[in-house]
Amino acid sequence: MSKLLIQSRSYKYLLSAVLLMTLLLSACSNSSAPAATAGNGGDSSPELKKVRLIEGWYAKGEDGGYFGALQQNYYKDKGIDMTIQPGGPEVSGLQLVAAGKAEFGISYADEILKAREQGIPVVGILAGMQYTPQVLMYHKEANVTDFSDLNGKTVYVTPAIPYWEYIKSQYKLTDVKEMKYNGQLVNFINDPNSLNQGYVTNEPYVLSQQGVDVGYLKIADSGYANYANVLFTTEDYLKKHPDIVEAVVQASQKGWSYYLDNYKTVNPLIQTYNPDMTLEAMNYEAEQEKSFVLNEETKTNGIGYMTKERWDTLQKQMLQVGGLSKEQDVSKAFTGEFLAKS
């Protein structure tokens, strides 16, 4: 079974200052995951600016645009010597970027807001996906058509995860048996009256390979206004190196455009950094994520487009359910000034 299923990705919502030094040491000293570098590993020219991008999880198709930019030398063409470092369950990109161990990372808008509240001054600069690919899966034969149908059912989910707290509040889910999701799907498989958190790009495919037929409710359809796969840096780095930020953002946009049409040529590269993922699974990811990357807004304004209205809405939702404790100036949490328009 894929690492993505064996180990829950919900660790990203459990930021803790206590773990900072452990995370830094494990990621920078003991990580066994290889790093992809610009120019396919060749010597970089002296004038190239070296930067590092920490993925939010293991290398995967959900980050395909960044690998597309790497493979096609879009970063190098912009004067950037890019290293992409896979993440994992013991690696917090938010903490590493904040500590100066990497210049860029990938996260979610709600995670960025939470990090800023905790004093980590990160800034979103490109939304790889306009909506989160997270889902709640159910057995196909179950009587589920909407989030309101979850009353009376068991839901395996990460406790206090913001989107789940929002859904419970929004749909008045007062009769749900909430069980902690431990990264394994066996409990869900064995209980036809249960639902399980997952990603539309991953778990439904893996379960289908095991003969488990599932449907799913997209978290995006609940109204939760999260941006996903958000490329971020720090306020300080953005202020000191706006030229590098612009180069990375625009090369990444170009990489996403390439990946969406040519993912089968990029996925073999991604697989070298995550051998546990099959090419078939990565191709499935790529097909599923297209609608999350491209919509009417991004077709008009460019891949990665974000609005203050969406960030404001997300903040209000998080405040409503206790995901944030106080209101922030969201205009400091993101910027679209470096994006190239379509």
pLDDT tens-digit profile of 19-75?
A: 333 333 343 333 334 555 554 444 545 689 999 999 999 999 999 999 999 999 999
Question: Domain segments of the chain: what residues?
Answer: 3-131+226-332, 134-222
pLDDT score at 36: 55
Look up tokens 């996903």; give the residue: 228
- Contact between 113 and 333 under an 8 Å Cβ cutoff? The reply is yes
Mean pLDDT of the chain: 88
pLDDT score at 37: 54
Pairing outcome for strands 80-85 and 36-37: antiparallel
For 268-305, letters b (16+ CB in 10 Å) and e give: ebbbebbeebeeebbebbbebbeebbbeeebeeebbbb
pLDDT tens-digit profile of 110-129?
A: 999 999 999 999 999 999 99
Of the pLDDT bands very low, low, confident and very high (cuts 50, 70, 90), residue 341 is confident
Percentage of residues of the chain with pLDDT beyond 70: 86
pLDDT score at 92: 85
Does residue 11 have a pLDDT over 50?
A: no
One-letter amino acid of 37 = T
pLDDT tens-digit profile of 209-267?
A: 999 999 999 999 999 999 999 999 999 999 999 999 999 999 999 999 999 999 999 99
Measured CA to CA, the distance from residue 247 to residue 79 in angstroms comes to 8
| Superfamily per CATH, domain 134-222 | Periplasmic binding protein-like II (3.40.190.10)
pLDDT tens-digit profile of 133-152?
A: 999 999 999 989 999 999 99
CATH fold label, 3-131+226-332: D-Maltodextrin-Binding Protein; domain 2 (3.40.190)
pLDDT score at 44: 47
24-28, 88-92, 316-320: least confident range: 24-28
pLDDT score at 201: 93
Distance (Å) of CA 47 to CA 43, 152, 214: 12, 62, 51
Q: Indicate the pTM of the whole model.
A: 0.86
Does residue 156 have a pLDDT over 50?
A: yes
pLDDT score at 203: 94
Measure CA 105 to chain center: 10
